[in-house]
Structure 1
Amino acid sequence: MTDFLNILLRFFHFSSLLLLTGCLTYLMLLTPAGYRNRLEIRLSPALRSSAGVALFSAIALFALQTVMMSGEITALSQPDIWSAVAGTRFGHAWLPEMLLAAVSFMLLRAGGEAARYLLLVTLILQLILTAMTGHAAMHDGWRGVAGEVSQSLHVLAAAFWCGGLYPLLLLMQQGQRDPQDNTAVLTMMKFSRYGHWAVALVILSGVSNTLLISGIPRHFSFWLTGVLVKSVLVAGMVMLALLNRYWLVPRFRQSPAESRRRFIRLTQAEMGLALGAIAVVSLFATLSPG
């Protein structure tokens, strides 16, 4: 039961952080200043719920770790067990993770552009801290440092790509309702321009992570099978993104209604594959790479 809860909580924590970071990046760095308030209003329900999920799952994962470490649920009422977990490598990364999740939750309810940029910084720090609790940080020395750096770049690039799909979808739906509104297309082109680099970074850092964690594979373990499944899902996302950018976008002027409708469907499918990839990561993050 604890293993299932560990996977489930990791899925909710990772997916909520990716969504929050991608949405805030899209909102603050890609969206025209005059359009940000309109987009933020539409993003607000997802942002608020995701911030709550990120905070709850961060606390719940730490509590679950105390149970797994002691083997008894009664550990939740024993301060010495909590203190022991806080002193582990996981605890050193997860205590600030919980603190930053609480700060993010409060910042989201604050107004002003400065609060939004500060919120984005706290989200980026949370993603980097998650890199320090996974397999990429299991080694000491240069290999451990390289693993943490590579995994940090991996999750940040994934957040830009995967998390940015939701505001992109909202804007394309708005553009479908109001064909004269070109904001969707303008921000989509910016997202696409930087998205190429994000996709390349996701792939390169993913390969780097695998080599740093397990070296050159000599046999197929269950963990490596999970890596391959994730790779297939990411490849599917890349294919859909290429279809959107290079097949549908050039047809926006010829048949705008049909092209936008197909764009929306493919983006929804891309989001579904992203959730599948996060689910796989949440599973094999709990497994031994051996």
Structure 2
Amino acid sequence: MELMPVVRALHLAAIALLAGSFAFPAFVLPPSAAGDPERSFLRGWLASLRLWSTVVAVATWLAWIVAVAAGMSGLPLGEAWRPSVVGTVMVETRFGHVWLIRCALLVLLVSYLAWRQRRRRDRLAGADAVGAALASGVLVSQVWAGHATAAPPWHVVADAVHLVAAALWVGSLLPLLMVLARARAGAPAWMALADSATRAFSALGVLAVAALALTGFINGQMMVGSASALVGSSYGRLVIAKIVLFLGMVTLAAMNRWWLAPRMAPGHPQARSAARLLWRNVAVEIALGACILAAVGFLGGSEPPAHEPGFAVGGQNKSPAGEAGPSH
């Protein structure tokens, strides 16, 4: 199953971008912050991002279920896609039930976004209640495909909060990068837009980092169990790598918030150079976020120390989904 970490990482990246494409106009970029030309460009760009993110999410989710079917049946991938094999997984496992729900949500979302794009009905404001609701369902339902469901309900809630915070932060970085790329040229309208977006994103980032730190600690306690297991297991070492990458993102975010964002104010003599530096830092944040998603992809194929025989998690055994993987 060498491709499974890639499939998991691509799927999580797609749903993060999907969440970010709805969160960015709703929480980071109020509609009053953009003029008509900028609004038109952003409307089309975000519509395309939503549609393609959903398409990738559908494709990787289909690949995921075939890989799970192969792992459970012992058949090669070339035979595991048969309806009799996949049907057994869908009917008899929790992961299969989640697969059906998520596939239905993703197909509905692809159809809905394609319809909106044909009708040119996308608006910059985050008022697309139908699309946002479908995207939220896709995002949160990912929790039920992961290790967290072998734990008590309060841990499932913590895992869902962790996933939402990560998706909103990482998923909103790409739209922010696009705005900063336009602002680097020094156009006054895009500079003003980048200033507004950077300040709002910083506020969103503070909330996301706080939620990620708290829920990450809870997840670590439940999935790893001890400091010795953190250092002495492959799962724990992947968690350490994820923490180091997260701290790198936090460091860059703090630099952006306290040093570069104030220089983006209209009329500031260093505004244009600040936009260039912000673009570079956000690009590095995206790269670090991609590395975190890759680590999560590998975590899905690693046995958490707390799920090993003899280590009880909330009085329950390991999830029967096996290869379903983590949602955080």
TM-score scaled by length of structure 1: 0.91
Q: Which has the higher contact order (CA 8 A, sep 6+)?
A: 2
SS at 1:4's partner residue?
coil
The verdict on how the C-alpha distance between 1:27 and 1:150 changes in structure 2, with shifts beyond 3 A counting, is: same
Distance 2:166 2:238 in 1: 17
Question: Is structure 2 residue 139 aligned with structure 1 residue 127?
Answer: yes
Distance 1:187 1:12 in 2: 26
The verdict on how the C-alpha distance between 1:234 and 1:80 changes in structure 2, with shifts beyond 3 A counting, is: closer
The residue correspondences of 1:271-282 to structure 2 (distance < 5 A) are 271-282=286-297
Which of 256, 269, 281 is equivalent to 1:254?
A: 269
Which of 54, 57, 60 is equivalent to 2:60?
A: 57
The verdict on how the C-alpha distance between 1:254 and 1:67 changes in structure 2, with shifts beyond 3 A counting, is: same
Distance 2:209 2:222 in 1: 20
1:17-68 CA-to-partner distances (Å, cap 9, x unmatched) read: 0011012111234323254543122234433322111011111211221111
1:80 Cα deviation from its structure 2 partner: 5.5
Distance 2:184 2:213 in 1: 32
SS at 1:287's partner residue?
coil
Instruction: Identify the structure with the greater helix proportion.
Output: 1
Distance 1:254 1:235 in 2: 31
1:223-242 CA-to-partner distances (Å, cap 9, x unmatched) read: 01000100000000000011
Which of 75, 91, 96 is equivalent to 2:101?
A: 96
Query: Which residues of structure 1 form unaligned runs of 5+?
Result: none
Kindly report the root-mean-square deviation, in angstroms, between the aligned alpha carbons of the 2 structures. 1.9
What is the match of residue 44 of structure 2? 41
What is the match of residue 175 of structure 1? 183
Paired residue total: 284
Distance 1:84 1:268 in 2: 40
Distance 1:258 1:31 in 2: 22
Instruction: Output the amino acid matched with 1:93.
Output: V
1:89 Cα deviation from its structure 2 partner: 1.5
Distance 1:123 1:243 in 2: 31
Question: Is structure 2 residue 170 aligned with structure 1 residue 162?
Answer: yes
Which of 191, 202, 219 is equivalent to 2:212?
A: 202
Question: Is structure 2 residue 92 aligned with structure 1 residue 77?
Answer: no
1:154 Cα deviation from its structure 2 partner: 0.5
Instruction: Output the amino acid matched with 2:81.
Output: L
Query: Which residues of structure 2 form unaligned runs of 5+?
Result: 306-328
Q: Does the 8 Å CA contact 2:66/2:81 hold for their aligned counterparts?
A: yes
What is the match of residue 245 of structure 1? 257
SS at 2:81's partner residue?
helix
Structure 1 runs of 4+ with >6 Å offset: none
